[in-house]
Chains A and B, each alone.
Chain A
């Protein structure tokens, strides 16, 4: 039986830039931006400079320089247990890591009209930020608009804000 392969559709020209440049070129196409995109896409993975240089098709020195800069900025942590083969890890406490993660979804949302960033923010709020909130009594019920996705009314208030009396 002869297998007929379906023709591969052509990618529209306005999408080309997303294949060529990180974030569609929003921050340019510098090596450090490419490195950041890789980290954001895989924040729990160990980063080896040699492997990343190969993956990006860039020189070891360029990638290593970018990784060192990001380490100085506390975006990455460097594991020097083996000085000949340093390993870098994303700093999970970095607010910039978090912000850029939301940004990466915003890039796709703006392009495709999806709503992934809001859902990620909502997910993050329920997983990480609820500990900052205390429930109000029903008489103190407040409405926080703009959270989206149906959770438009919340009866929580931030701990460092005085509860309405």
Chain B
């Protein structure tokens, strides 16, 4: 079933009683349909989710720091694999000189994989410790 199909026709086709609690489980499954390739993997998806929430544009040094936290390499794991279609390096020349930024070219793809791997949703509890 694709995201564009109606839920009603899906339930009818699969002979699932739509009044059943299974319905809600099915709904979750439908929404978690496989996002478009390429699959970045969970660590890069975490970075992409972060980058998207930062406005899809951060300074190179900030991106490198975030990658370090996730134990991934910005050049090797992200730019060499997903540039120029998904994530790119751009330069900004202003009065203060030139700086390099990391730009998310395809936020739809990034968001889809971040949701697929369920990384950092705000309504989830904390990773390390709860108060």
Residues of A within 8 A of B (CB): 8-11, 15-16, 18-19, 22-24, 37, 40-46, 55, 77-79, 89-90, 92, 97-98, 101, 104-105, 107-109, 111-112, 114-116, 119-120, 122-124, 126-128, 130-131, 135-138, 149-155
Q: Tell whether A24 pairs with B55 under 8 Å between CB atoms, given A19-B92, A46-B128, A116-B108.
A: yes
Q: Tell whether A155 pairs with B18 under 8 Å between CB atoms, given A15-B103, A16-B94.
A: yes
Q: Which of B29-86 contact A (CB under 8 A)?
A: 30-31, 50, 52-59, 62, 65
Determine the distance from Cα of A11 to Cα of B19 in the docked complex, in whole angstroms: 52
Number of residue pairs A-B, CB distance < 8 angstroms? 155
Picked from B27, B53, B130, the residue with its CB within 8 Å of the CB of A101 is B53
Chain A contact residues, majority secondary structure: helix
Can you give 18 contacting A-B residue pairs, CB < 8 Å?
Answer: A8-B91, A11-B90, A16-B92, A42-B50, A42-B53, A90-B126, A92-B125, A98-B123, A104-B53, A105-B53, A109-B107, A115-B108, A124-B123, A127-B123, A130-B24, A131-B24, A150-B5, A155-B7
Q: Are A10 and B92 in contact (CB under 8 A)?
A: yes
Q: Are A116 and B27 in contact (CB under 8 A)?
A: no
